[in-house]
Chains A and B, each alone.
Chain A
């Protein structure tokens, strides 16, 4: 059976694949991923509800923990690695991350600027503006 899988896998790796068909090794990978994910999630929920850390740092901490956990999921569950046979998957991921960052941070940046530079319109004026 392992011969079959050797032949099956020698051509390269898809996302979701790993090099070896060693059951214990593969299960261990998922267990490590689950343990790291639980640790990061628990830290995230703890930080959100605690008074023990400096309050302004909490949003940054939550975002950093979320990005770390996404990385854990990518490596241990989706098996996106930096191996030479994973280059295409990593390049596609890098492009996806670029677009996501442009969209999210661009939107927030533009809208914060707009909120700061626009005068608030009083409610009665707004009603008059309607046709």
Chain B
């Protein structure tokens, strides 16, 4: 009976959602998420500068190797699979955080972390291979733009992995407190946004770059 009245009291305002939205200031979670969303959009604007530079410099190979000669598309497909699956498991961790399941949260975060590290390992190997073949960032304007764009994304993923580990530690030490939940919301947004940028990278850099 008591539970019934509680549920009713809290579902009634939701029926008139348009009215409820305008009642008082938004919760801290909404404001934190909105602020972080603004940061992510500015990060995406920064990436768009690197994308523009790459698109403009795609043909400026200075007599050096072109994208079609350098890029290994099966490798890129594996990288894409790693990042896409890690984004999915980050979503699973979000669900686990929402229902406050410590065990599933740590398991899905660990899976996310392993997939992120696998992505970084493949990318590092690819970069080392390119440099070893004399196609380093100083070879041509095209390769400078390539290393700047893909390297910047790789640095973001590295920072994301460090953040992921600190989130695991924070949840382990402090539990699902409201402030920890907000930090995790920001982390999940960051990780998903990196995947969106990677969609642009594999489409524009690798697929269009090896066609050109």
Contacts and interface: CB of A to CB of B under 8 A. Distances in A.
Interface in A79-106: 84-85, 88-89, 92-93, 95-96, 99-100, 103-104, 106
Nearest to B27: A11
Main SS at interface, chain A: helix
Interface residues of B, number: 65
B132 interface: no
Interface centre among B34, B55, B94, B199 (most CB of A within 10 A): B199
Interface stretch (B111-119, B163-171, B204-212): B204-212
Interface SS, B side: helix
Contact of B51 (A10, A73, A104): A104
A21 B28 CA distance: 19
A89 B199 CA distance: 21
Contacts of A62: 203, 207-208, 211
Contacts of B42: 96
Nearest to A25: B95
A44 B196 contact: no
B64 interface: no
Contacts of B1: none
Q: 9 shortest A-B CB distances, which residue pairs?
A: A14-B33, A66-B203, A96-B41, A107-B52, A30-B91, A100-B48, A48-B207, A77-B192, A111-B56
